[in-house]
Amino acid sequence: MDRRRFSNLLLSVPLLSPRAVFAQGSGREPYKIGVTYPLTGPLATSGNEYLPAAEVAVTHVNRAGGINGHPLELVVEDTQGQPQGGIAAMRKVVQVDGAQAVLTIYTNVVTAQMPLADQIKVPLLSPVEAPGLMSKSAYAFSHAASVASMGILWRDYWRKTQVKRVFAFIVNNAFGPFISAVVKNAAQSAGVDYLETPFNYGDNDYRGLVARAKDFNPDAIVVAEQGGIDGTLIIKQVREAGLNAPVFFPGIFYDEVAWRNGVGTYIGGVLEAGIRLDPHAAKQFIDDYRIKTGHFPSYVAGEVYDQIKMFAAAIARGSYSGEAIRNQLATMKGVPSVFGGMITMDAEHYSIPSTDSLWQVRAGNLVRVSP
């Protein structure tokens, strides 16, 4: 429970500096950012992977003196990866804890939170990859890779490798229709036969769905999900059923320890589309995240780190109020990204860090295969 209630006060001692201590002990009221992540439930492995990235970013901001002398602080609540949990968590961090901005995640949760954000005039910032969603709210923004560009990578790869039949497992939540349209369009553009089936997080046994895939006899399999352990279970059950077609994922989950361990010996050959951290621009983040967690940060952790820096810049350039932060996010540019280059928000409320690539796990390493 302590982890869910506090933020920078719980950060690892090696990450703190005299300047950070000065900022935290300055006597000024902290600027609070709410975090609504799944810390329990099927997506908890991912939520607990990303939260340390936000904590490292807060440490870096406070180490540099905070924001206009105010320390930055996180207030964290568990959504369980569910829409109703997302609304309850958002109300808590804003209306009880006083946060003027909210870091959140997962399309089904964000979709539920967006009307509340517009109502209470507190901006949401997330790594939602679903195209077109953010423009439906004046207070919702995304800093993430794009599933639309991932679909282009799949299309080109399927053409090149002469894939004829694609079967997709599509997560059965608000993200599903977005990713289904992308995969279906990629398959149609590549001229291949396509079939999909929905799956529910937390079901654990997907062998009935895998039997449908086996009957289809695919040349490629897409597991279109958002993280957590369920995708690893599907891969295992696909391989145990004797299906050897290459498996494609939206996003690079290989860098998440729990996901990689979950797939285990079946990880060889998996193809993932997405972005990776720039080793130079992200060096300090990578080093401090490793100190904190013991492993390399995933791409979503990098997006989360950037998002805290975006909130910090918005507050510094405007003021600590939901409306002012929202206005700064809407026109944001010139904030350095751990993916290289500068962050710029577009008119649709999306900021894409860099161009996606297609990667494959080969001999225990992630190797770029396209472009």
Joined tokens for residue 2: 């302590």
Query: Cβ-count burial of 266 within 10 angstroms (0-12 exposed, 13-18 middle, 19+ buried)?
Result: middle
pLDDT for the residue 149: 87
For the segment 224-266, what is each residue's pLDDT rounded down to a tens digit?
Answer: 988 778 889 999 999 999 999 999 999 898 988 888 999 999 9
**Residues 188, 193: Cα–Cα separation, whole Å:** 7
Q: Judge contact between 223 and 213, C-beta under 8 A.
A: no
The answer to whether 20 and 63 are in contact (CB under 8 A) is yes
Q: What is the predicted pLDDT for the residue at 86?
A: 98
Q: Tell which residue, 121, 83, 120, has the closest CA to residue 104.
A: 83
pLDDT at residue 354, rounded to an integer:
64
Dihedral-angle region of residue 217 (phi above 0 means left; psi in -120 to 50 means alpha; beta otherwise): left
Cα 346 to the center of its chain, rounded Å: 19
> What pLDDT is attached to residue 353?
63
Angle at 140 between CA 137 and CA 141, to 5 degrees: 130
In this prediction, residue 26 carries a pLDDT of 55
Coil, strand or helix at 79: coil
CA distance 127 to 301: 10
Q: Quick one: pLDDT at residue 256?
A: 86
Those residues with Cβ within 8 angstroms of residue 114's Cβ, 6 or more apart along the chain or in another chain: 124, 136, 137, 139, 140
Q: Along the 371 residues of the chain, how does pLDDT read in single tens digits?
A: 444 433 333 333 344 333 333 344 556 899 999 999 999 998 898 899 999 999 999 999 999 999 999 999 999 999 999 999 999 999 999 999 999 999 999 999 999 999 999 999 999 999 998 888 999 999 999 999 888 889 999 999 999 999 999 999 999 998 899 999 999 999 999 999 999 999 998 898 999 999 999 999 999 999 998 877 888 999 999 999 999 999 999 989 898 888 899 999 999 999 999 999 999 999 999 999 999 999 999 999 999 999 999 999 999 999 999 999 999 999 999 999 999 999 999 999 999 666 689 999 999 899 999 87
pLDDT the model gives residue 27: 67
Cβ atoms of residues 275 and 254 within 8 Å: no
Helix residue spans in the chain (DSSP H): 2-5, 18-24, 44-63, 83-91, 107-120, 147-160, 175-190, 207-216, 230-240, 257-263, 283-293, 299-317, 322-330
Full set of structural domains in the chain with CATH: 2-145+279-351 (3.40.50.2300), 147-250 (3.40.50.2300)
**DSSP conformational letter for 67:** B
Distance CA 18, CA 26 (A): 12
